[in-house]
Amino acid sequence: MKELFPLKQVNGYIFSLLLTVVALSVYFFDMSFAMGLTILIVTAFIQAGVQLVVFMHAGESEDKGGIYLHTIYGVAVAILTILGSLLAMIWGYMI
Amino acid sequence: MDFLDRFSIPPHDDPMLYASIVAIGLVSIAIVFGVTYFKKWGYLWNNWLTTVDHKRIGIMYIISALLMLFRGGADAVMMRLQTAVPDNSFLDAQHYNEVFTTHGVVMIFFMAMAFIIGMMNFVVPLQIGARDVAFPRLNALSFWLYFAGAMLFNVSFVVGGSPDAGWTNYYPLAGTEFSEHVGVNYYNWALQISGIGTLMTGINFIATIMKMRAPGMKLMKMPMFTWSALITNLIIVFAFPVLTIALLMGTLDRQFFTNFFTTGDGGMDMMWANLFWVWGHPEVYILVLPAFGIYSQIIATFSQRNLYGYKSMVASMVIISLLSFMVWVHHFFTMGQGAVANSIFSITTMAIAVPTGIKIFNWLLTMWRGKIRFTTPMMYSVAFIPLFTIGGVTGVMLAMASADYQYHNTMFLVAHFHNVIIPGVVFAMIAGLIYYWPKMFGFMLNERIGKWAFWNIVIGFCLSFFPMYITGLNGQARRMYTYSEASGFGPLSMVSFFGALLLAVGFVIIVYNVYYSFRYAPRNVGDDPWNARSLEWATHNPVPEYNFAITPNVDSEEAFWDYKKNGHDLFKGEIKDIHMPNNSGWSIILAGFFFVFGFFFVFHVWVGVIIAFLGIIGCLIYRSFEKDDGHHIHKEEIEETENKFGGAK
């Protein structure tokens, strides 16, 4: 019976619900804009990671190394693009 | 009549325009008449228009690319003719704007992109020993979407007017305030439609290369062109969505009165430049990496040595792909973002010269102590190395942000990027085309005529672009339709015009070579006319529909060479039935709806837009319920084909 029970998925489900609750708290509690946004961004990234690993089975096939490498590459490109755009469009004018 | 007025071209009294309308009409009628007269409609439809065979799709890409090369080349000669002498009046300012915009868009999107994707289509499945790409139907759709986009763009010339804001299409110039007529709408929709096709190609080829390699072919045993194709498609998948969104925002601005790129109402006009180059700089590497891959194949083959530094070649391409996403701001150093931002992007830009330099040295060391055969493809490759290096060095000059204030927007820049793109991409594609010609058609192009074309093209290239370095440093701005005699740009511009003519002559000689070789070249060239090294040469010339009768077993970087010389057993097993995908007219019909959709959207004809959109949705629904299990080529049939080629492989 133990082998049949999807413990990992159930735990993941509970964990992602928990993350949703934490994200929701931004709306219900009075906090600064920076604080709220930080919570949202952090929970969003963890949430995406949970979905990818637990529910989209990213780490369960033989080519998991490739899958993780491509994901990290994609995230890195996205972050670099956003930071670079901010640098070119806003921060560059301030420094 | 009010309804029809919108399709007319903005008035400029130019007999050439009407001449070209007549010419386009006559050529179209001639093609339709010719195909009907020779009763080839059935052949054309069954064997080409509905095909899902990666080889035929590749050839169609290359034919379209060559057509676009001549279209863009004609624009180039017109520009050089206009600027050959001071105060020339061959083209007026508006017409000149349209010509340089069209030249840029056609050459980058519809010539270079199509050429590299055509090469990838033809070569990659053969190099990895696959029967086709991962999604053959999607591949056909990619081609037809590209073709629909290209045709939509070319229609702009005679219906409604061409875009005239440069191929970079900067706002606010490209906004409705300064570009009222429909030209920029054409730009948005033509690139949008062909861009969707390119994105599909990217996904398709990543899946193909990751999942469909012959047994035993590890990633680090792939031929170099396949490696370059893998990295290129990775860049496509990450870069093209940015273009898609930027074009959509531009469309919303121009056609639905939003304010993304406007100067007022909270819009940010430089955001277009930012997004355009976030896509645009990786695009440069999308073009040049497959070219590097082709050079790697050709140089190894004709030096008769294995490629020097295989691992460093792969590593440098991976580093280039990552760095290519970190440098885009160098396209607008003078926008005003300040020294800190500029310095960061200046350094990342210069860093790209390092992996590129590694590749250059690897090619040189491959040739070192090789037994070099100077065939036409090899001559293009050898000419590429010094010419591309000059382009690279001027690139590093432009990468210095503070010095760029002097060079930016001058002919120096124009000389630089032609200096990397022509020896980098165009030479590679011509060399690759000549190299793979026997694989495609079963005969070789004439070497003597090919070398005539080579010398015309190389000398023509040097004559047309090296003078621009000088006039650029002297202050000649790009995109100016004329200049005064006192500026002193006259003599060098004239040299440049003659260079453009020589280039044109070179390309005409290539076309003549195709005709000449088609008529006179011997057809018994065998399966390995170049004494090549990688897996694609292990099958027959021209390649049968199923590529390899027996799936090869690969255990070497240079599988075919080891098969020939070192007893590598490539074809274990026996001939079995082969499962192949069916042809389908679905792709061309869907792309046709996209063309109509784009055309009516350009002119705000909403009834047409809705009908075409319903057509698109209908095609997608049809596809969802379609049952297509493909077909089998039977063992006896394969044996018969193989025996015709003289034995199974």
pLDDT tens, residue by residue, A71-95: 888 889 999 999 999 999 988 888 7
Contact (CB<8Å) B210/A81: no
Interface test with A, best of B326, B331, B332, B333 (most A CBs within 10 A): B326
pLDDT of residue B38: 87
Q: How confident is the model at residue A7 (pLDDT cuts 50, 70, 90)?
A: confident
Burial tier of A68 (Cβ tally within 10 Å: 0-12, 13-18, 19+): middle
**pTM for the whole thing?**
0.93
If one looks up domain B10-584+628-644 in CATH, what number appears?
Answer: 1.20.210.10
Residues of A within 8 A of B337 (CB-CB) are 87-89, 92-93
Work out the end-to-end distance of chain B between its first and last CA atoms, rounded to an integer number of angstroms. Answer: 65
Nearest to B12 by CA among B184, B242, B181, B214: B181
pLDDT mean by block of 10 residues, chain B; 649 residues:
70 68 84 88 90 95 95 93 92 90 95 96 95 94 96 89 92 90 94 96 95 91 95 95 95 94 90 94 95 96 93 95 93 90 93 94 94 95 96 93 92 96 96 95 94 97 96 93 93 96 96 95 88 92 90 89 88 88 94 96 94 97 91 89 73
String of b and e for B484-519 (b: at least 16 CB within 10 Å)? eeeeebbebbbbbbbbbbbbbebbebbeebbeebee
Q: Which among B270, B278, B341 has CB closest to A87?
A: B341
Q: Which among A84, A85, A92 has CB closest to B340?
A: A92
Q: Which among B234, B278, B332 has CB closest to A81?
A: B278
Contact (CB<8Å) A76/B322: yes
Find where tokens 């293009």 sit. Answer: B380
CA B576 centroid distance within chain: 37
Using CA atoms, how far residue B527 sits from B5, B447, B560, in Å, is: 58, 18, 12
pLDDT of residue B557: 86
Distance between CA atoms of residues B404 and A58, nearest Å? 45
Contact (CB<8Å) A73/B322: yes
pLDDT of residue B1: 52
Q: What would the two tokens of residue B625 be?
A: 């319920």
Contact (CB<8Å) A84/B271: no
Q: Which among A63, A81, A92 has CB closest to B325?
A: A81
Structural contact between residues B362 and B419, judged by C-beta atoms closer than 8 angstroms: no
Nearest to B247 by CA among B283, B325, B201, B194: B194
Q: Which among A70, A77, A88 has CB closest to B274?
A: A88
What does the DSSP assignment read for B14-41?
-HHHHHHHHHHHHHHHHHHHHHHHTT-H
Contact (CB<8Å) A89/B274: yes
For chain A, say whether B335 makes contact (Cβ under 8 Å).
Answer: yes
Contact (CB<8Å) A89/B271: yes
Distance between CA atoms of residues A59 and A73, nearest Å? 16
Q: In this predicted model, which residue has the larger pLDDT, A54 or B413?
A: B413
ipTM of the complex: 0.83
DSSP state of B619: H
Write down the domain spans for chain B: 10-584+628-644
pLDDT of residue B648: 54
pLDDT of residue B244: 95
Residues of A within 8 A of B238 (CB-CB) are 74, 77
Q: Which of residues 249-268 of B touch A (CB under 8 A)?
A: 268
Residues of A within 8 A of B245 (CB-CB) are none
Residues of B within 8 A of A66 (CB-CB) are 210
Provide the strand spans (E) within B48-129. none
Structural contact between residues B499 and B462, judged by C-beta atoms closer than 8 angstroms: yes
